[in-house]
Amino acid sequence: MFSGIIDGIAQVISINKKKKLYTYAIRFPPNLLKKLKLGASISNNGCCLTVIKVDNCYVSFDVMKVTLEHTNLGYLKIGDYINIERSIRYGDEIGGHIVSGHIINTAEISKISKLNNNYIIWFAIKDISLMKYIFYKGFICVDGISLTIVNIIKNRFCVSIIPETLSLTTIGMKKAGELVNIEIDFYTQITVDTTERLISKNSFMVYK
C-alpha cells in the first residue's frame, strides 16, 4: 500500500524489451535505497512493481504486457523520469490517501494553466464510465501523486498543483497530450458501486 506522497523522482537507465515483458533499470536517489530488498513493492508512476534486482543505485523491475497496455509505463524512454514511492509501513504517517498501486485507467492531459507559482491541469480520462467515481473535492491518484479534484466538466477533471508538488514530482515536466496513470479512490468506488446495487435491487423489488 502507498499514500500518494512521492518520495522522489528516478531516471530510467535501461529498458530490455521482450515480446510480453519489459525489464526497466531505474537509478534511485540514495535516500530511497535504505533497506531496499528484493521483492519489495515500489510505486513507479503510481503502478506497484516488484523489485527484482538491486545493483548499487540501480533498481530493476519486470513489467508484464497487461501493465504496459493499461499504463503509461510502456511509453517510457531511456532518460525519462518517474515518480517513486516506497510502500508504507505500520505506523507511518499517511499524508495523502490510501493508494493500492493498481492503475485503473490512463488520462490525457488536455490543458495546463500556469497561475503564479501553481498549475491547474485538466485531464480527459480514457474510460468515460469511470467519471462516476470522480467527485469535486474527492481524491484522485495521478502518476502516483495524491491530489484533490477541484473541478469537473463532462469527461474531464482538473487538479491544482502547488509549488511543493511541482518541485518534488514529475508533474511539472508534463505537457498537454501526454498520458498519466489514474487510480481512483478505492473507498469512493465501493460507495458508488454499493449504492448502485442497492438502487438496482430496490427498483427490481418495486416493479416485480
Report domain 105-193's class: mainly beta
- For the segment 109-150, what is each residue's pLDDT rounded down to a tens digit? 999 999 888 899 999 999 999 999 999 999 999 999 999 999
The pLDDT confidence band at residue 15, using thresholds 50, 70 and 90, is very high
- The residue ranges of every structural domain in the chain are 8-86, 105-193
Residue recorded with cell 522522489: 8
Of the candidate ranges 95-99, 159-163, 167-171, 181-185, the one whose mean pLDDT is the lowest = 95-99
pLDDT at position 121, please? 97
Q: Which fold has domain 8-86?
A: Elongation Factor Tu (Ef-tu); domain 3 (2.40.30)
Would you call 130 helix, strand, or coil by DSSP?
Answer: helix
Query: What is the helix (H) or strand (E) element at residue 84, kind and residue range?
Result: strand 81-86
Q: What is the mean pLDDT of residues 49-65?
A: 96
All residues at 6 or more sequence positions from 154 whose CB lies less than 8 Å from its CB, including other chains: 131
pLDDT of residue 68 exceeding 80: yes
- pTM for the predicted model, two decimal places: 0.91
The amino acid present at 74, given as its one-letter code, is G
